[in-house]
Structure 1
Amino acid sequence: MSEHQIPEEIRLQNGRAALTLVYGGEHKTLPAEFLRVYSPSAEVRGHALGQEVLQTGKAGVTIMGLEPVGQYALKITFSDGHDSGLYDWPYLHQLAYRYDEMWADYLRRIELAGASRIPAAEGSDAQAEAGRSCGGGGCGCSH
Structure 2
Amino acid sequence: MAGLNHDTPTPTALTVHGASRVLEVQYADGAAFRLPFELLRVYSPSAEVQGHGPGQEVLQTGKREVSIVAVEPVGNYAIKPIFSDGHESGLYSWQYLYELGSRQSELWQAYLDRLQAAGADRDQPMPGKAGSACGHQH
Pick the TM interval, shorter chain.
Answer: 0.7 to 0.9
Contact 1:6 1:93 in 2 (8 A): no
The structure-2 alpha-carbon separation of the partners of 1:36 and 1:114, relative to structure 1 and needing over 3 Å to count, comes to same
From 105, 112, 137, give the equivalent of 1:107: 112
Aligned residue pairs total: 132
Which residue of structure 1 lines up, in the alignment, with residue 129 of structure 2? 130
Contact 1:42 1:141 in 2 (8 A): no
Structure 1 stretch 6-15 or stretch 43-52: which is displaced more?
Answer: 6-15
CA distance in 1 between counterparts of 2:8 and 2:52 reads: 29
From 43, 48, 57, give the equivalent of 2:53: 48
The structure number with the bigger radius of gyration is 1
5 Å matches for 1:1-143?
A: 1-2=5-6, 4-15=8-19, 17-23=21-27, 24-120=29-125, 126=127, 129-131=128-130, 140-141=135-136
Contact 2:49 2:58 in 1 (8 A): yes
CA distance in 1 between counterparts of 2:7 and 2:103 reads: 18
TM-score, length-normalised on structure 2? 0.85
What is the deviation of 1:7? 1.4
Contact 1:44 1:55 in 2 (8 A): yes
CA distance in 2 between counterparts of 1:142 and 1:131 reads: 17
Deviations 1:19-70 (A, max 9, x none): 0011233321000000000000010000111111111111111111111100
Q: Which 5+ residue runs of structure 1 have no aligned equivalent?
A: 134-138
The aligned amino acid for 1:98 is: R
TM-score, length-normalised on structure 1? 0.82
Q: Which 5+ residue runs of structure 2 have no aligned equivalent?
A: none
